[in-house]
């Protein structure tokens, strides 16, 4: 019984996926209900010792510790809310419902995994199943996003699998502590660690492996965007926390992650500010926020004996970001659905509040999370320039404030109502939610029909409100699951000021921009100054193109080589044509002659045998 | 004849009798023929279960008659043979059912199922052979028995494909015959399971024994499709889908790999092969084959050709497991013997249904087929993911053990090979899956893609432009998406790809079985 209870976060979504395939009626509400046992498990804590399940997989082990538990709580909540928001979508599309549930099972499995194989298996299931969520819309944008997603996903899986085999090989165990320990003391440990950094880093949006993220997260329907950007993005982080040797000083990878993390934090803000699609902007905000978490992991990795505080601080920050980001993504869905068009100001206010929390304005949940993160970095950091690092971390709050300001500006006009004007914003990817024209949905006794959303949108609006509230207060205490290893920040002048100045700076800048716009009307024309989603991706594609062009010019020989390369690339893009070079080789060795040569060899061997014979 | 010997002979005879009865049945006695064949296959599964049960309770199963001076005909149920016999009995049952649904006979069903049964018998003989001489006899007979199946469709392309097959198989057989004779001459016996004697001779004549080993492996490599001796397999793809399924999963190509496993483990012993310095070259050949097969598969648009090259690549995982010294990697190699069979059979079943039901034979025609054949494509998807090594399918279990074993043996480069091949496998299987499920069903067969140069090559594609027997009508659908006889085997093997992976650690799973065998083999 206890084993079933332990397994319920994975088992129930999988069962639900099966049911969703056959039952049309259950399909609508299953995605919202399936993560509830996981939620309960996270709230009540581990029910006794983890069960022995050596007959499952290659010996399945489960664990729910101070890092996994808050993440499970957040993820289950986000999945449940997203499941409710995706109600109509799931009801009409059984494939989406099933894949949504399988992805959920994988994601929750990562959080309760107690050994490397279980972690890897869950991670892989989550990664591949999520492809279906990304390409759901089938628009050209989604198809392209799906392709980029898949290429990166396969790369990540391959790096991870190699890393998994090598780590288990050297550690001779699948337990996390053994692996982290073995990585720390083995010669090739750092190289293997690199495979894990890359494998999990792709999911976590580590720069420069983030290029799929601003495409894939916005391409999915809002509910799926929410789980992608809030819950699943944390799975990569957890992989690092579980496996990298945080207790030892690994300065090489530590500093690399530190630099890449800060780069990501900055890049997410700068590129995000140029976006016109609110979902792409939010995806870039996720890259920025993950950058801070990656910085923390980098600092922890460079320091010795840092596994406890790093993990707990990271979990706390991840929880808050997850809740806030899910609320914001669902908020975009609420906006496009037009459900709160009548109460647009209230909607904008709530979004602004969540945004402020994300920017770590004083006394919000985000402030608690960020103060904890910053405190931990300051304690653990070894090396020069601590003051600069500290200021940089704090200053990202200003950037986030700007991002939120930009988001609010994109959403400022009330959305299109069923028979209203054309949409003021370009939401390139849509939300998957068809606004229903039924206006008389709301019974009169429920209050003013203008303020209450129409019946069909209520799950979406409800889950959005729930997550908004959770994001605002959730930071307080959620990260304390691990006990007293790290302290909640004190409410004092210094810490409050730490939260206040970046936000004030951001608001000041926003006010400046608004003033400028008001007086000079300097809004750039649409399409100008926008960095296309996927930023670095363009460079990669352009470089590939450039290389091919150059190769054609250089020499016929080189050109032929690149022809083969191009063919391989085209295969990856489903336009399969045989590579001429390989064909020639094949023809050479598969002619009838091979058989004849074999016979001749046998004859030769016969002669050798006679010569050697006794 | 003791009870143990009787069981072994009975096992061989089941399919033989089935075949004999089928040959004499008139063509129109369909019901009787089906009943006889399915009944025979079921009986065989039952007998095999008895055999497995018996061996695990400590009984001995051996049948021996004098044949040549110094070389008896021996059939013996050792642990490795058991694994293979069990696999082949089960897959034979599913494939028989599938072949009935596929109407593979096309008006020549008695001939078809007759040779089908003959192959089954020969495979049992190969599996249970207790010495190299017995193995060789059944190995050659298998070539003879499969030829009519390969060319069953008739037509120029089939005949040419068949001719290529026979040419390769005969050359390989000749090499094997020669190696066997040489070994008999040097050692005086070719019994499996007695590496001590061979080792004693090898310490005296290491050079000659190495040469014998190389000749034996070369002979076996033809059927095991090690590069560069793999040329016949893609050409033999003209065979009907059930035959291809069988060829790739348990019969011909598997026989070659199985032979390599037995020569390394039961004849020479792994320690000796290692000492002779032959393990590393074998590992290198396997590596080349893995990567080369995947690369070729990537360039093939015709589904069966792609699957054929995938087989080339996948079989070498087994050889790789055999050629890396150590307990874990041996386990990985042995377990992949089973796992690859289940996965590949499922893929071919799926490809066959696609062909029969929708006329889809090319990867580029697979857009949206998931909507039309959801259950078939679900099984196909699971098997394809298994081939990539995706957890928690059986493919992952194999791959994991191979990789771990390599690290244990101090050969981490194997992990790189597995990683590369995993990426390549993903890039030729995932597009199929993505097309099937996430693309709108389109007009199949667009003209540009059909203009593949493989078309004007002999026996490469499944097109029926020559004088081949035209395929029968598409199977009746009934309640299901396709004929139940086609769907049931596909679903059951597809489900086991998943179930055996999820329950890999459970007692009685192929993994625990393989681990048990590997431990026995590793004991000095």
- pLDDT tens-digit map of A250-270: 888 889 999 999 999 999 999
Q: Which of B174, B234, B453 sits opposite A602 (nearest CB)?
A: B174
Q: Which residue has the higher pLDDT, B289 or A566?
A: B289
Q: Say if the Cβ atoms of A598 and B171 lie within 8 Å.
A: yes
Mutation target vs B (from A170, A593, A594; most B CBs, 10 A cutoff): A594
| Distance to chain B for A119, nearest Cα, Å | 10
| A39-79 pLDDT tens trace | 998 888 887 788 888 777 777 888 888 888 889 999 999 99
> What is the reported pLDDT for A343?
84
3-state secondary structure (DSSP) of residue A125: helix
Residue A419 pLDDT exceeds 60: no
What string of DSSP letters covers B58-105?
T---EEEEEEETTEEEEEE--HHHHHHHHHHHHHHHHHHHHHHHHTTT
Query: 187-246 in B: which are within 8 Å (CB) of A?
Result: 205, 207-208, 211, 214-215, 218, 222, 227-232, 234-235
Q: Say if the Cβ atoms of A589 and B399 lie within 8 Å.
A: no
In this structure, the dihedral spanned by the alpha carbons of residues B373, B375, B381 and B382, taken in order and rounded to 10 degrees, is -170
Q: B277: phi > 0 → left, psi -120 to 50 → alpha, else beta; which? A: left
Q: Are residues A610 and A509 in the same domain?
A: no
Q: Say if the Cβ atoms of B400 and A169 lie within 8 Å.
A: no
Query: 531-590 in A: which are within 8 Å (CB) of B?
Result: 567-568, 571-572, 574, 576-579, 582-583, 586, 589-590
> What is the reported pLDDT for B452?
37
Low-confidence ranges of chain B (pLDDT < 70): 1, 104-105, 442-479, 524
Contacts 24+ apart (CB under 8 A), A19-28: A20/A90, A20/A94, A20/A97, A20/A98, A20/A101, A21/A94, A21/A97, A21/A98, A24/A91, A24/A94, A27/A90, A27/A91, A27/A94, A27/A97, A28/A87, A28/A88, A28/A90, A28/A91
Q: How crowded is residue A435: how many other Cβ atoms within 10 Å of its Cβ?
A: 19
Q: Say if the Cβ atoms of A165 and B418 lie within 8 Å.
A: yes
> What is the reported pLDDT for A443?
41
Q: Are residues A156 and A265 in the same domain?
A: yes
Q: Say if the Cβ atoms of B505 and A577 lie within 8 Å.
A: no
Q: Which domain holds residue B434?
A: 278-455+480-524
CA angle (A192, A195, A200) in 5-degree steps: 130
Q: Which domain holds residue A544?
A: 537-568
- Angstrom distance (rounded) from CA B463 to CA A169: 47
Chain B residues within an 8 Å CB radius of A192: none
Q: Which of B207, B296, B390 sits opposite A586 (nearest CB)?
A: B296
Q: Compute φ and ψ for B68, nearest 5 degrees.
A: -120, 160
Nearest Cα to Cα of residue B134 among B189, B211, B208? B189
Nearest Cα to Cα of residue A95 among A129, A52, A69? A129
Q: Domains in chain B: how many in total?
A: 1
Chain B residues within an 8 Å CB radius of A94: none
- Confidence class for position A161, pLDDT limits 50, 70, 90: very high
- Confidence class for position A579, pLDDT limits 50, 70, 90: low
Chain B residues within an 8 Å CB radius of A166: 403, 407, 412, 415
| A280-314 pLDDT tens trace | 999 999 999 999 999 999 998 888 877 778 888 88
Q: Which of B182, B407, B426 sits opposite A170 (nearest CB)?
A: B407
> What is the reported pLDDT for A60?
84
Q: Say if the Cβ atoms of A55 and B503 lie within 8 Å.
A: yes
CB contact A487 to B (< 8 Å): no
Structure-block tokens of residue B457: 């090559």
Mutation target vs B (from A609, A611, A613; most B CBs, 10 A cutoff): A609
Structure-block tokens of residue A575: 């336009």
Q: Are residues A409 and A493 in the same domain?
A: yes
Q: Based on the number of CB atoms within 10 Å of its own CB, is A65 exposed (0-12), middle (13-18) or buried (19 or more)?
A: middle
Q: Domains in chain A: how many in total?
A: 3
> What is the reported pLDDT for A434?
43
> What is the reported pLDDT for B286?
94
Chain B residues within an 8 Å CB radius of A146: 434, 438
What string of DSSP letters covers A49-100?
SPP-BTTSTTSB-B---TTHHHHHHHHHHHHHHHHHHTHHHHHH-HHHHHHH
> What is the reported pLDDT for B40?
93
Chain B residues within an 8 Å CB radius of A55: 503, 505-507
Structure-block tokens of residue B454: 């493989």
Mutation target vs A (from B168, B428, B438, B506; most A CBs, 10 A cutoff): B438
Q: Which of B172, B363, B505 sits opposite A56 (nearest CB)?
A: B505
| Distance to chain B for A605, nearest Cα, Å | 8
CA angle (B284, B314, A121) in 5-degree steps: 110
What percent of chain A shows pLDDT beyond 70?
A: 80
> What is the reported pLDDT for B472?
52
Query: 245-274 in B: which are within 8 Å (CB) of A?
Result: none
Q: Are residues A511 and A547 in the same domain?
A: no
Residue whose tokens read 């936000």: A503
Interface contacts (A, B; CB < 8 Å): 187
| DSSP H/E element including A416 | none
Chain A residues within an 8 Å CB radius of B513: none
Q: Which of A162, A166, A576 sits opposite B364 (nearest CB)?
A: A576
Chain B residues within an 8 Å CB radius of A150: 430, 434
Q: Say if the Cβ atoms of B211 and A605 lie within 8 Å.
A: yes
Q: Which residues pair with B74 in a beta bridge?
A: B64
Nearest Cα to Cα of residue A94 among B378, B499, B489, B490? B378
> What is the reported pLDDT for B239?
82
Q: Say if the Cβ atoms of B435 and A117 lie within 8 Å.
A: no
Q: Compute φ and ψ for B365, nearest 5 degrees.
A: -95, 5
CA atoms within 13 A on the CB side of B86: 22
Residue of B nearest to A582 (CA): B296
Q: Are residues A591 and A476 in the same domain?
A: no
| B77-107 pLDDT tens trace | 888 898 899 999 999 999 999 999 887 667 7
Q: Are residues A241 and A328 in the same domain?
A: yes
Q: Are residues A595 and A492 in the same domain?
A: no
DSSP code for B455 = G
Residues in CB range of A448: below 8 A, 6 or more apart? none
Report whether B282 contacts B323 (CB < 8 A).
yes
DSSP code for A338 = T
Structure-block tokens of residue A230: 């809030």
Chain B residues within an 8 Å CB radius of A56: 502-503, 505-506
Within-domain flag for A448: no
Mean confidence (pLDDT) of chain A = 81
Nearest Cα to Cα of residue A416 among A329, A354, A524, A344? A344
Length of chain B: 524
Average pLDDT over residues A21-28: 83
Which range among A162-171, A582-591, B431-440, B482-491 shows the weakest confidence by mean pLDDT? A582-591
> What is the reported pLDDT for A316?
87
- Angstrom distance (rounded) from CA B267 to CA B196: 9
Q: How crowded is residue A572: how many other Cβ atoms within 10 Å of its Cβ?
A: 19
Report whether A430 contacts A279 (CB < 8 A).
no
- Angstrom distance (rounded) from CA B146 to CA B143: 5
Q: At what angle do helices A278-302 and A251-273 cross, to 10 degrees?
A: 160
Q: Are residues A601 and A463 in the same domain?
A: no
CB contact A609 to B (< 8 Å): yes
Residue of A nearest to B507 (CA): A55
Q: Are residues A560 and A596 in the same domain?
A: no
- Angstrom distance (rounded) from CA A175 to CA A169: 12
| Distance to chain B for A224, nearest Cα, Å | 16
Write out the E strands in B284-416: none
- Angstrom distance (rounded) from CA B245 to CA B249: 6
Residues in CB range of A602: below 8 A, 6 or more apart? B171, B174, B175, B178, B215
> What is the reported pLDDT for A225?
92
Chain B residues within an 8 Å CB radius of A582: 295-296, 299
State how far the alpha carbon of B304 is from the alpha carbons of A163, A527, B41, B237, B350, in Å.
33, 47, 26, 7, 10
Nearest Cα to Cα of residue A129 among A13, A215, A284? A13
- Confidence class for position A596, pLDDT limits 50, 70, 90: low
Report whether A427 contacts A38 (CB < 8 A).
no
Query: 300-319 in B: which are within 8 Å (CB) of A?
Result: 300-301
> What is the reported pLDDT for A447?
38
Query: 437-496 in B: which are within 8 Å (CB) of A?
Result: 437-438, 440, 449, 452-454
Q: Are residues A486 and A612 in the same domain?
A: no
Nearest Cα to Cα of residue A130 among A229, A214, A24, A211? A229
| DSSP H/E element including A576 | none
Residue whose tokens read 């083969």: A564
Which three-class secondary structure string do you get for B391-430? CCCHHHHHHHHHHHHHHHCCCCHHHHHHHHHHHHHHHHHH
What string of DSSP letters covers A464-482?
HHHHHHHHHHHHHHHGGGG
Chain A residues within an 8 Å CB radius of B295: 579, 582
Q: Are residues A597 and A561 in the same domain?
A: no
Q: Which residue has the higher pLDDT, B254 or A458?
A: B254
Query: 31-60 in A: which are within 8 Å (CB) of B?
Result: 54-60
| Distance to chain B for A592, nearest Cα, Å | 7
Quote the ipTM score: 0.88
Query: 364-403 in B: which are within 8 Å (CB) of A?
Result: 364, 385, 389-392, 396-397, 399-400, 403
CB contact B352 to A (< 8 Å): no
Query: 138-197 in A: which are within 8 Å (CB) of B?
Result: 138, 146, 150, 154-155, 157-159, 161-162, 164-166, 168-170, 188
Within-domain flag for B101: no
Q: Say if the Cβ atoms of B400 and A608 lie within 8 Å.
A: no
In this structure, the dihedral spanned by the alpha carbons of residues A251, A255, A256 and A262, taken in order and rounded to 10 degrees, is 160
- Angstrom distance (rounded) from CA B357 to CA B375: 13
What pTM was estimated for this model as a whole? 0.86
- Confidence class for position A561, pLDDT limits 50, 70, 90: low
Q: How far apart are the first and last CA of chain A?
A: 71
Which three-class secondary structure string do you get for B437-448? HHCCCCCCCCHH
Report whether B234 contacts B303 (CB < 8 A).
no
> What is the reported pLDDT for B177?
93
> What is the reported pLDDT for A25?
81
Q: Compute φ and ψ for B505, nearest 5 degrees.
A: -85, -5
Q: A477: phi > 0 → left, psi -120 to 50 → alpha, else beta; which? A: left
Within-domain flag for A531: no
Residue whose tokens read 């906006």: A335
Q: Are residues A609 and A485 in the same domain?
A: no
Q: Say if the Cβ atoms of A579 and B299 lie within 8 Å.
A: yes
Within-domain flag for A527: no
CB contact A135 to B (< 8 Å): yes
What string of DSSP letters covers B5-32?
HHHHHHHHHHHHHHHHHHHHS-TT-HHH
Structure-block tokens of residue B391: 């957890």
């Amino acid at each position: 019984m206890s084993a079933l209870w332990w397994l319920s976060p994975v088992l129930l979504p999988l069962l639900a996926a099966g049911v969703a395939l056959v039952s049309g009626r259950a399909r609508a509400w299953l995605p919202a209900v399936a993560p509830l046992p996981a939620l309960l498990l996270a709230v009540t804590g581990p029910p006794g010792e983890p069960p022995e399940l050596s007959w499952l997989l290659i010996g399945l082990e489960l664990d729910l510790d101070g890092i996994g538990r808050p993440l499970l709580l957040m993820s289950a909540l986000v999945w449940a809310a997203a499941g409710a928001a995706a109600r109509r979508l799931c009801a009409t599309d059984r494939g989406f419902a099933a894949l949504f549930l399988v992805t959920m099972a994988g994601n929750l499995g990562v959080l309760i995994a107690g050994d490397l194989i279980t972690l890897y298996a869950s991670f892989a299931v989550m990664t591949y199943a999520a492809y279906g969520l990304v390409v759901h819309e089938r628009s050209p944008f989604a198809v392209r996003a799906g392709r980029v997603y898949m290429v990166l996903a396969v790369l990540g899986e391959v790096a991870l699998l190699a890393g998994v085999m090598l780590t288990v090989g050297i550690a001779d165990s699948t337990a996390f502590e053994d692996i982290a320990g073995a990585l720390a003391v083995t010669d090739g440990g750092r190289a293997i660690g690199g495979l894990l950094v890359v494998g999990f880093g792709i999911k976590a949006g580590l720069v420069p492996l983030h290029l799929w993220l601003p495409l894939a997260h916005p391409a999915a329907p809002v509910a799926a965007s929410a789980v992608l950007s809030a819950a699943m993005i944390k799975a990569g982080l957890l992989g690092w926390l579980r496996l990298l040797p945080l207790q030892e000083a690994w300065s090489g990878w530590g500093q690399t992650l530190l630099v890449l993390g800060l780069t990501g934090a900055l890049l997410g803000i700068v590129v995000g500010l140029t976006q016109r699609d609110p979902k792409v902007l939010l995806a870039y905000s996720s890259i920025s926020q993950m950058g801070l978490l990656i910085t923390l992991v980098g600092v922890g990795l460079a320091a010795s004996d840092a596994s406890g505080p790093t993990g707990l601080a990271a979990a706390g920050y991840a929880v808050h970001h997850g809740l806030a980001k899910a609320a914001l993504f669902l908020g975009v869905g609420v906006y496009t659905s037009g459900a709160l068009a009548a109460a647009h100001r209230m909607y904008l206010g709530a979004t602004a509040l969540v945004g402020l929390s994300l920017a770590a304005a004083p006394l919000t949940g985000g402030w608690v999370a960020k103060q904890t993160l910053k405190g931990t970095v300051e304690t653990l950091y070894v090396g020069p320039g601590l003051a600069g690092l500290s200021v940089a971390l704090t200053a990202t709050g200003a950037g986030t404030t700007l991002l939120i300001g930009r988001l609010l500006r994109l959403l400022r006009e009330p959305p299109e109502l069923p028979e209203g004007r054309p949409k003021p914003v370009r939401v390139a990817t849509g939300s998957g939610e068809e606004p229903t024209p039924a206006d008389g949905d709301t019974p009169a006794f429920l209050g003013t029909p203008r303020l209450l959303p129409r019946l069909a949108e209520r799950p979406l609006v409800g889950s959005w409100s729930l997550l908004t509230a959770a994001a605002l207060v959730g930071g307080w205490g959620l990260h304390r699951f691990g006990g007293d290893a790290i302290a909640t920040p004190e409410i004092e002048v210094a810490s409050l000021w730490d939260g206040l100045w970046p936000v004030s700076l951001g608001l000041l800048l926003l006010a400046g921009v608004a003033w400028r716009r008001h007086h000079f009307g300097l809004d750039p024309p649409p399409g100008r100054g926008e960095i296309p989603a996927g930023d670095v991706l363009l460079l990669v594609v352009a470089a590939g193109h450039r290389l091919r062009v150059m190769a054609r010019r250089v020499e016929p020989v080189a050109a032929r080589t690149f022809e083969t390369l191009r063919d391989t690339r085209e295969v990856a893009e489903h336009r399969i044509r045989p590579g001429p070079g390989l064909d020639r080789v094949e023809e050479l060795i598969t002619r009838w002659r091979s058989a004849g040569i074999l016979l001749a060899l046998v004859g030769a061997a016969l002669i050798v045998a006679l010569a050697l014979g006794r | 004849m003791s009870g143990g010997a009787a069981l072994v002979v009975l096992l061989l005879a089941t399919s033989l009798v089935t075949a004999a009865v089928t040959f004499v049945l008139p063509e129109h006695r369909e019901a009787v023929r089906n009943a006889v064949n399915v009944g025979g296959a079921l009986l065989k599964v039952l007998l095999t279960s008895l055999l497995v049960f018996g061996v695990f309770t400590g009984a001995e199963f051996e049948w021996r008659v004098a044949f040549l001076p110094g070389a008896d005909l021996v059939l013996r149920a050792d642990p490795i043979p058991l694994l293979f016999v069990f696999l082949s009995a089960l897959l034979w049952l599913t494939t028989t059912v599938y072949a009935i649904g596929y109407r593979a006979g096309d008006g020549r069903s008695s001939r078809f199922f007759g040779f089908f049964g003959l192959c089954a018998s020969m495979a049992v003989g190969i599996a249970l052979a207790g010495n190299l001489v017995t193995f060789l006899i059944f190995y050659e007979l298998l070539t003879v028995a499969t030829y009519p199946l390969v060319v069953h469709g008739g037509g120029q392309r089939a005949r040419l494909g068949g001719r290529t097959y026979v040419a390769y198989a005969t050359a390989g057989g000749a090499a094997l015959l020669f190696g066997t004779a040489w070994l008999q001459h040097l050692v005086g016996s070719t019994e499996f399971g007695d590496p001590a004697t061979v080792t004693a001779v090898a310490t005296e004549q290491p050079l000659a024994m190495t040469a014998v080993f190389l000749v034996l492996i070369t002979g076996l490599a033809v059927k095991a499709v090690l590069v560069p001796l793999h040329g016949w397999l893609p050409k033999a793809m003209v065979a009907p889908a059930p035959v291809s399924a069988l060829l790739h999963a348990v019969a011909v190509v598997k026989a070659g790999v199985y032979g390599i496993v037995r020569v390394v483990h039961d004849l020479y012993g792994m320690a000796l092969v290692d000492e002779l310095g032959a393990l590393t070259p074998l590992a290198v050949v396997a590596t080349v084959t893995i990567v080369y097969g995947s690369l070729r598969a990537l360039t093939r648009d015709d589904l069966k050709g792609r699957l054929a090259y995938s087989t080339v690549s996948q079989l070498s995982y087994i050889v790789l497991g055999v050629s890396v010294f150590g307990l874990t990697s041996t386990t990985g190699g042995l377990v992949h013997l089973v796992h690859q069979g289940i996965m590949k059979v499922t893929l071919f079943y799926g490809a066959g249904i696609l062909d029969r039901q929708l006329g889809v034979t090319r990867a580029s025609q697979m857009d949206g087929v998931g909507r039309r054949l959801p259950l078939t494509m679900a099984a196909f998807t699971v098997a394809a993911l298994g081939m990539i090594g995706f957890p928690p399918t059986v493919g992952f279990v194999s791959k994991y053990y191979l990789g771990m074993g390599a690290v244990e043996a101090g050969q981490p480069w194997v992990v790189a090979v597995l990683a590369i091949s995993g990426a390549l496998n993903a890039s030729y299987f995932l597009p199929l899956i993505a097309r099937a499920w996430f693309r709108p069903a389109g007009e199949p067969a667009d003209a540009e893609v059909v203009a593949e140069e493989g078309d004007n090559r002999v026996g490469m594609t499944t097109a029926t432009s020559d004088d081949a027997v035209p395929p029968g009508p598409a199977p009746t659908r009934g309640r299901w998406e396709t004929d139940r006889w086609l769907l049931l085997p596909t679903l059951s093997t597809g489900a086991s790809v998943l179930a055996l992976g999820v329950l890999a650690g459970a007692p009685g799973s192929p993994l625990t079985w393989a681990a048990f065998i590997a431990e026995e083999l590793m004991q000095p």
